[in-house]
Amino acid sequence: MNASLLYQAYGVKNYSYGSTEYKDNAIFLNLKTILPQKHVCPHCGSRHVIRNGTVLRHIHNLPFGSKACYLSLRIQRYWCKECEKAWQSDIPFTHGEVSYTYRFSRYVLDLLRMGNTILDVARHLHVGWNMVKGIHKKYLKDKYSRPDIKGVSRIGIDEFATRKGHVYKTIVVDLDTGRIIHVGDGKGKEALAGFWKRVRRNKVKIEIVTSDLSAAFIASVMENVPDAIHVYDKFHVSWLVTDAVDKVRRSVYAQETDLEKRKIIKGARWLLLTKDKNESLLQQMKEDCPQINVTTDNIEAVKDADVIVLVVKPWLMKMVLAEVRHVLDFDRQIIVSDAANFTTGMLAEELCQEGQYFYVIPNIAAEFCASMSFIAQGPKASDDSLKEVEELYGLVGDTLVVDENLVGPGMMMASCGIAYVMRYIRAQMEGGCEMGFYPQQAKQIALQTMQGAVSLLKATGWHPEEAIDKVTTPGGVTIKGLNELDHAGFNSAVIRSLKAGLK
C-alpha cells in the first residue's frame, strides 16, 4: 500500500505503510513515521531539539467491510535543551487528542444523517456509544454554538424551566427562520446581556420583538432596542383582560343579595373545553345537553371549575397550560391530564407549583360508557380528590387506580388494544368471506363471537385457558386452529405489539 493510496483512502499523510496484522476480529495497519529533517521547539522556537522516545497509539480508521480497522503508529516525542520542555509530534489526520481519524468522524456523521441512532452507529463500527456521541456533540458545538445573527430583524424571546426548582433558561429565536440564536441562564435581564452585545458588535438592526409580559424582558428590550416594535403574546394579554373582567364579576357577586342571581354570576361547577373553537359544534353540544356550559375561552372555562380535565393532544398541553396557569386555584381545583405521557410530574413542572394533579387515560369506548380508564394519583392529591375523579370517570366505564408507571402499559392494553382487537375482528371477517360468507354476515358472526367470549369470562370468572379447554377436544378442529395460531406466532405478536409502544 503506497503513500498515495493511504492519503486518498484515509487522509493519512507524513506516514508510510509498514505491515498488516489481524487480531481480535479487527485489522491493524502498522504505519511508519516520515520524520522531518529539522525540528523546532513549539515553546521557545529553539532548534536544539533531541528525540525522546515514542508512544504507540491505535487510531480508529474507516472499517474494512464489517471488520473494524485501526491505524497503529508510533508518535515521536521530543525534548528541548533550551527550555527543557517535552512534547510529541502532531498527527495530521486526527482531531488533537482523540483516537479516530478525520475520515472516521465524517463517516460517523454521514451515518447519523441517514437516520441511524447513536447506538446503531456504535454497534456497526464496533466502538463505544460515548465515542459516537462525542463526535456528534463536537460537530453540533462547532456548527451551532455561535449562530450567525447577521440579517436577523425579527426575534422572539421566551423562558422555560429546565427542571423542578425554578431553574430557567431564556432563548431568543429568529422568527423568520425558526433558529434558536441565543440561550441564556435564568429569566432576567442578565440572561439577554450576551445577546445584545452580539447585536451591537454585528450592527444588527432589530425591528420587531415578541415576548410575554415579563418585566425583565420589557426593560431589556426598551434599553437595548428602544425603536423596535414590541409585540406581547395574546395569551398574557387575554389573561390581563380576563383578570380585569373577573375582578368586576367578583365585585358584582359580592354586592348582589339575590341568591339565584349570585349563582348565575358565579357560573357552573362543570365546564366543557374543546380543542377546536367551533361555535356551531359547541352550540350543538349545548342543545344536546342543556345542563352543560360551553365556551371558546379556556381561561373563562377553568377559573371557576372544581375539576379541570385537559383533553388535548400532548404537544398542545404546554400551550394550554401557559394560557390558563395564572387563573388556577391550586388549593381548590383538581387538574386532570388526559394527554398521553403527560404525567402529574409534568403538570407540576409546567405549572411551577404542586397541586391536586391526576394522570388519567380512558379509551375511545368512553363515548358508549364502555371505557377502561387508568387513574394515577399525584403525590399531593388527596384521597377525597381521588374518589371524585373515580366517580367522574366511572360514568363512562370501568376505572382502575394504578401507579403512574403502569398508565403507559395500561394504555397499550386498553386504548391501543382496541385497535388490535379490531384488527383481529377484521382478520376473522376476511377468513369468513374466504369460506363463503358475505361481509356483513362475517362481521355479525365475528362481533357476536367476541361478545360471547367476553360475557363468558365475566360471568364465570374463568381464566381464558379454562374456557379454551371447554371447547377443545382431542383431534378436533379447535385444537388444529389453535396450533396454527401458535405456529404463526400469534401470542408473541400480541405481546410484542403491546410492548412496542413503550420503547
- Tell me which residue of 62, 148, 126, 57 sits closest to 98, measured CA to CA: 57
In a domain, 251, yes or no: no
CATH number at residue 483: 1.10.3730.10
Cell of 162: 429546565
In a domain, 121, yes or no: yes
Distance CA 158, CA 180 (A): 11
In a domain, 254, yes or no: no
Shared domain check, 76 and 22 = yes
Count, residues in the chain: 503
C-alpha angle 387-393-396 in degrees, rounded to nearest 5: 145
Shared domain check, 218 and 114 = no
In a domain, 203, yes or no: yes
- What pTM value is reported for the model? 0.46
In a domain, 491, yes or no: yes
Shared domain check, 162 and 138 = no
Shared domain check, 112 and 175 = no
Q: 211-242 pLDDT, tens per residue? A: 988 888 999 999 999 999 999 887 777 677 66
Looking at 143, 162, 190, which one is the last position of a domain?
A: 143
Adjacent-strand bridge partners of 231: 210
Shared domain check, 26 and 132 = yes
CB environment 430-442: b (16+ within 10 A), e (fewer): eebeeeebeeeeb
Shared domain check, 108 and 84 = yes
Other Cβ atoms closer than 10 A to 465:
9
Shared domain check, 106 and 85 = yes
Following DSSP, what letter does each residue of 27-51 receive, concatenated?
Answer: EEEEEEE---S----TTT--S-EEE
Shared domain check, 133 and 7 = yes
Looking at 355, 384, 408, which one is the last position of a domain?
A: 408
- Tell me which residue of 166, 169, 143 sits closest to 157, measured CA to CA: 169
Looking at 143, 178, 213, which one is the last position of a domain?
A: 143
Q: Which residues lie below 8 Å from residue 192, measured CB to CB, with a gap of 6+?
A: 157, 170, 172, 182, 184, 217, 220, 224
Residues of the chain with pLDDT under 70: 1, 34-38, 96, 163-166, 238, 241-243, 245-246, 249, 260-278, 291, 503
Distance CA 391, CA 307 (A): 12
State residue 156's pLDDT score.
94
CATH number at residue 186: 3.30.420.10
Q: How far apart are the first and last CA of the chain?
A: 46
Distance CA 498, CA 420 (A): 9
Shared domain check, 169 and 137 = no
Strand, helix or coil at 77?
A: strand
Adjacent-strand bridge partners of 293: 271
Q: 376-400 pLDDT, tens per residue? A: 999 999 999 999 999 999 988 999 9
CATH number at residue 286: 3.40.50.720
Shared domain check, 343 and 211 = no
State residue 197's pLDDT score.
93
In a domain, 258, yes or no: no
Shared domain check, 136 and 10 = yes
Tell me if 294 sits within 8 A of 274, measured CB to CB: yes
The residue segments making up the domain with residue 439 are: 416-500
Shared domain check, 423 and 401 = no
Count of domains in the chain? Answer: 4
Distance CA 423, CA 420 (A): 5
Distance CA 165, CA 161 (A): 9
In a domain, 480, yes or no: yes
In a domain, 149, yes or no: no
